[in-house]
Structure 1
Amino acid sequence: MSLGRIVFSRSPRSERGLLSGWNRNLVNDLSCNGPRQPTTRVMSRCYKLHTCSTSKSVVSPLLRSNICGTPSSYQSAAPSLRSFSEGPSSSEEDDWGAEYEALTAQRNKNIIMNPAGQGKNILPGGYVLKKDPKKGGYRKVILEHSLGYFWAIKELATTNKKPILSNNAVIPAAEAEEFPFLGDLVNLKGEAASIPDFFTRNNRSKDASAKCTLVAISYKDFGAQLLPSWIDPFDMAFRKGVNNEADRYEVVRIIINEGRMVKLLSPFITSGTKKNVPESDHANTLLYYGIDAEEFRDILRMHNIYSGYVFLVDGIGRVRWAGSGEGTEEEIHSMIGIAKDLTKRLQKQLPQSQNPRIGKRVQ
């Protein structure tokens, strides 16, 4: 009888449930030699699996104790182990509830999700709730596992490439939220930057009406090809047209590149981007190279990375309007009108005295 069969015959029901989705060959290759210092890998719904530093096999402390004996470091962790079939403990539910509320509170409440899309159902962290037909209730499932790996492409068809809808009017200043932070950016001239500080770098007076910035964000080439439908009319209305205050309007392109290999490919990505962006806009084209920008994406509800997104940001870095996909004539007209309203200076009038002073001039 092989070692794998011995293990599964001796393991309790909870252990069999835990390992039902794993490759049983990993157990056959399990090494019991050398020092073992447990590390923890956090899975969905806060379930925890433990692994030895000497092996890449991911097994529970109870299963490892059946094979290698029960080290003291694992004895304390074994009683707290729960299998997927048993469901989460009350403390784990409380931890996820608190984490979920904190992440949800960060989302921009003024962004309108398209009712025909899937974005309205996506939870922070890239999960969705799925009903369990056997046990009833709902459980948290990874987005791609529930909707499929091509859900984003399907959503483009159902929403006309607009995962979020454009605001019909300017977001009131009292309700406007600050643009989320994203660091480790670099422009096409090789200068480091971070947002939203980049939008307000020249506004020393901290005047909300001093400047309006059109922020255009893309993740894929398909989304980047949709953005000129917004950028070109904005340029013609404010920056390239007859306008004495062109310096009060700015376009900032942000290209998000996520993955573990993008750092190595960054020279090629930067070179290709320079060919597609006018040289006059190289200073305002920011590129992000990192493993993950999930929190930034979730705050602005940019769940579908195949579309393009646009935002109007006022002089102090607040989001006052949002849109996505390809701009229609009506949406572009509304965007330009809102940009004008954001830069409208208030007329300061001197207070007039209701009881003017009447008298002789003193000589």
Structure 2
Amino acid sequence: MNRGYFADVAELKKHGGKIATANKIIIPALAAVKFPDLDVSYSDGTPLKLPVCSSGDVANADKAAIPKVSLVCLTFRASSQAMVDSWSTPFFEAFSDSKNVHLYEVSFIDSWLLCRSPIKRILLKIMRKSKDAGENVLQRQIVYSFGDHYYFRKELKILNLLTGYFFLLDKFGRIRWQGFGMATPEELSSLLSCTSLLLEGE
């Protein structure tokens, strides 16, 4: 879990961030594990706890607004933003009219200096911009997680910080599909079909 930057770079050169192929089919509910709790902040400082689901406390969320499906995109370094866009943009376009789908793009900030309260406030102010588009029902929610994320990464078996990680969650916060790196057409197809299956209640 504590391997160095150069090991990540070497691995990235080897497979371009595609540490594994995405699931072809949905993970059965009985085999699915819950996405670990994660405290994040919007750019205006408003806190949120992920996953937003129907079990346990739901911070800052109306019970009636709990999504049937959430796509959570994780990026640990700015260089992997293109990977995030390769998944989130087609997903957004496919489900832009669905009120039962949420899309979260989570950026992790682990620098000790950037996590200091005054710097953190300035950083959030700089990043206060929205990718939300017009009158779409589905909103692209950009959030940030500050501080040490070692144990969170350990739960999800995340080693390489230079690639992107993508998790499709059901309404109970369980991981029903996952992908890595840049999206391929086949993987996007599996993501969209698994999302549709969850929306239909399997």
Q: TM-score range by the shorter chain?
A: 0.7 to 0.9
Q: CA deviation at 1:160?
A: 2.3
Alpha-carbon deviation of 1:261? Answer: 0.9
Contact 2:109–2:115 (CA under 8 A) maintained in structure 1: no
Letter in 2 for 1:287: Y
- 1:152 equivalent to 2:3? Answer no
Stretches of structure 2 that go unaligned for 5 or more consecutive residues are: none
Aligned residue runs from structure 1 range 65-76, under 5 A: none
CA offset at residue 288 of structure 1? 1.2
* Alpha-carbon contact 1:188-1:282 (below 8 Å) kept: no
Selected match of 2:146 from 289, 299, 313: 289
Which of 122, 125, 134 is residue 271 of structure 1 equivalent to? Answer: 125
Residues 1:342 and 2:198 aligned together: yes
Distance 2:87 2:175 in 1: 16
CA distance in 2, matches of 1:294, 1:224: 21
Residues 164, 301 of structure 1: alpha-carbon distance in 2 compared, 3 angstrom cutoff: farther
Distance 1:203 1:194 in 2: 13
Q: Higher helix fraction: Structure 1 or Structure 2?
A: 1
- Of the structure 1 ranges 187-196 and 334-343, higher mean CA displacement relative to structure 2 is found in 187-196
* Structure possessing the higher radius of gyration over alpha carbons: 1
The one of the two structures with greater contact order (alpha-carbon pairs below 8 A, sep at least 6) is: 2
Q: Percent identity?
A: 25
Q: Distance in 2 between matches of 1:157 and 1:335?
A: 25
TM-score normalised by L of structure 2? 0.84
After TM superposition, give the deviation of residue 337 of structure 1 in Å: 0.4
Superposed CA offset, 1:40-96 (max 9, x none): xxxxxxxxxxxxxxxxxxxxxxxxxxxxxxxxxxxxxxxxxxxxxxxxxxxxxxxxx
Matching of residue 173 in structure 1 with residue 29 in structure 2: yes
C-alpha displacement of 1:161: 1.4
Change (3 A) 1:304 1:266: same
C-alpha RMSD of matched pairs (Å): 2.5
Taking structure 1 as the reference length, what is the TM-score of the superposition?
A: 0.48
In the other structure, the counterpart of 1:195 is 50
Aligned residues: 191
Matched, 1:314 2:164: no
Q: What code does the residue aligned with 2:68 have?
A: K
Partner Cα separation in structure 2 for residue 282 and residue 336 of structure 1: 17
Inter-partner Cα distance in structure 1 for 2:201 and 2:68: 10
Structure 1: gaps (5+ residues) = 1-124, 127-142, 347-363
Q: In 2, distance between residues paired with 1:325 and 1:283? A: 19
Does the Cα contact within 8 Å between 2:35 and 2:174 map onto a contact in 1?
yes
After TM superposition, list the pairs within 5 Å mapping 1:46-125 onto structure 2: 125=1
CA 1:342–1:163: 2 relative to 1, 3 Å: same
